[in-house]
Amino acid sequence: MNIPLIIVICYIILQFGISWYSTRISKASGVLGYLLAGRNLPVILVAVMITGIAVGGASTVGVAEQAYTHGISAGMYNAAWGIAAILVGLIAASRFRKMNITTIPELFERYYGKTGQIIAVIGQVIILMVIISLQYVAGGAILTALLPEFFTFSTGMITTAAVFVGITLIGGYWAAGFSNLINVAVIYIGIIAGIVMSISGAGGFSMITAQLPAGIPWFDPVAGVGWVLVIAWFLVMFPTVFSTQGVVQVSFAAKDAKTAKIGYILGGLLILPIGFLSAIFGIVAAAKFPDLKNASMALPEVVLSFNPWISGITLSGLWAADISTAVGLLLGCATLIIKDIWKVFLQPGISKKQELITSRVIVLVISIVTYILATTVVGILKTLLICLTLTTSYTVILLFSMFLPKLCRKSAAVWTLITGIMLLALWQFVPAIRIVSHPIYLEWPVCIITFLLIYIIDKRPANILPSKF
């Protein structure tokens, strides 16, 4: 009898049970219930949705991998996410909810025209599909590393896909909310149980400290990875939380503006500690297993040294982190396609019943496409950070729209988005422009300058009424 496998199976059964239960709640409000939980999410579900989206494979296994060579400062990756969520809660979440919109491109169409909407939806779909594909990779890696006798990398990816796609297809946004309530609890219980076991198993914290290789600032919150990377994380995470459909959709689904604001702030507070907790696994691995050939095995090596019950709980927590991220993002991507492509260009007169069926079909199609994409992905954290850089252009547009509407021109969104996309493409294919350590250091100034140049060149004001924000 394999106890970790049994615990994981019980977790899967629980997730599908929650999804079936959620259909009872969402059925009454049709497609709005499926895609936005009927705009009725309470504070606690808003908070765990934000937390669940934030805490994925990169936030646990990826952070532990970096902590193996850089120490506790690797946890600043999650700290950046958490602080970004708190800032968005303070300045934008309630505004988004008051606007009563469904997608970010819908807002762009309202204020900048149809062309802005088209470019915005293309960019958002690309961003979300890349991130979703990374969740297959992370989920497959977790199951393969911790249950190698049962899973290959391919079967681990397929199992991961079956669970989060099944949850999404069956229960929609209510299922995402309730499953993340369980997921966040499992994540914290699993990681904390694993930390306690790993420290006690290594002879206590003082013993771990004594065994760590010299010359690395293991417990400095910044020095290990360095200020340049920490600042880059903050510059990437703020636009990610502020303008990525999968994240912002949580505010659209909140019960009201106050709920959205408090939920984001609470979610940010829940996110903050996870990175530092995950980093402890990497530090313990550096002390116990100093000769690992692959640093990505830091967390799995530590977990495999536990007793079966703790291993199973920790494994479920790590896998739950991956599932929780994927469900919210998959629904966000489906919402973009049904609302900004299908209903606008393909079937404007679609009935509510047909829209619900089509939404589920789109979820399935996205799942297949992203699974195929996942088989080509190399380097989870690097791919994720570069992809998320693209959200900067969206954030620049939204910030000007909210706080400096007099500077907004009709073509500002189009040209800012195009510039952001072109800059990222050049970064990938023209090494000569890599004059800084990360593309985010170019994206922010270039997008802001582009927006201001359009203000000078284009004399047509955008259709923005400040009172709407």
Q: Which tens digits make up the pLDDT trace of 271-286? A: 999 999 999 999 999 9
Q: What is the CATH number of the domain that holds 61?
A: 1.20.1730.10
Q: For residues 408 and 383, state if they share a domain.
A: no
Q: How far is 259 from 248, CA to CA, in rounded Å?
A: 14
Q: For residues 411 and 383, state if they share a domain.
A: no
Q: For residues 372 and 355, state if they share a domain.
A: yes
Q: Which tens digits make up the pLDDT trace of 250-265? A: 999 999 999 999 999 9
Q: For residues 286 and 417, state if they share a domain.
A: no
- Identity of the amino acid at 272: L
What's the pLDDT score for residue 379? Answer: 53
Q: For residues 32 and 111, state if they share a domain.
A: yes
Residues 212 and 64 sit within 8 Å (Cβ to Cβ): no
The CA radius of gyration of the chain, in Å to the nearest whole number, is 22
Q: For residues 443 and 341, state if they share a domain.
A: no
Residues 455 and 407 sit within 8 Å (Cβ to Cβ): yes
What mean pLDDT is predicted for residues 62-66? Answer: 88
What mean pLDDT is predicted for residues 102-124? Answer: 89
Q: For residues 147 and 126, state if they share a domain.
A: yes
What mean pLDDT is predicted for residues 52-65? Answer: 83
Q: For residues 134 and 33, state if they share a domain.
A: yes
Q: Which tens digits make up the pLDDT trace of 309-342? A: 888 888 787 787 778 788 888 999 999 999 999 9
pLDDT over 70 at 469, yes or no: no
Q: For residues 204 and 317, state if they share a domain.
A: yes
Domain that holds residue 458: 392-469
Q: Which helix (H) or strand (E) holds 36?
A: helix 30-36
What mean pLDDT is predicted for residues 293-313? Answer: 81
What's the pLDDT score for residue 384? Answer: 64
Q: For residues 30 and 129, state if they share a domain.
A: yes
Among candidate residues 389, 424, 452, the one where a domain is terminated: 389
The pTM assigned to this predicted structure is: 0.89
- The DSSP call for residue 410 is T
In sequence order, which ranges of 92-152 are alpha helices (DSSP H)? 93-99, 104-112, 114-146
Among candidate residues 389, 418, 452, the one where a domain is terminated: 389
- The DSSP call for residue 462 is P
Q: How far is 183 from 163, CA to CA, in rounded Å?
A: 13
Find tokens 């394999």 and name the residue. 2
Give the total number of structural domains in the chain.
2
Residue 361: CA count within 13 A, CB half-sphere = 8
Least confident of 196-200, 240-244, 310-314, 383-387: 383-387
Instruction: Provide the percentage of residues in the chain whose pLDDT is more than 90.
Output: 39
- Residue 62: both structure tokens together: 């990826």
Residue 243: CA count within 13 A, CB half-sphere = 28
Distance of CA 245 to the CA centre of its chain: 10
pLDDT over 90 at 56, yes or no: no
Which residues contact residue 417 at a Cβ distance below 8 angstroms, ignoring those fewer than 6 apart? 116, 119, 120, 123, 393, 394, 397
Among candidate residues 345, 371, 389, the one where a domain is terminated: 389
What mean pLDDT is predicted for residues 440-450? Answer: 95
**What integer best gives the mean pLDDT of the chain?**
88
Instruction: Provide the percentage of residues in the chain whose pLDDT is more than 70.
Output: 96
What mean pLDDT is predicted for residues 339-358? Answer: 88
Residues 294 and 69 sit within 8 Å (Cβ to Cβ): no
What's the pLDDT score for residue 293? Answer: 80
Nearest to 132 by CA among 364, 344, 359, 300: 364
Q: Which tens digits make up the pLDDT trace of 374-394? A: 877 655 556 666 777 888 999
CA-to-CA separations, 271 to 106, 278, 374, in angstroms, rounded: 29, 12, 26
Q: For residues 324 and 424, state if they share a domain.
A: no
Q: How far is 319 from 315, CA to CA, in rounded Å?
A: 6
Q: For residues 440 and 357, state if they share a domain.
A: no
Least confident of 308-322, 341-355, 403-417, 418-432: 308-322
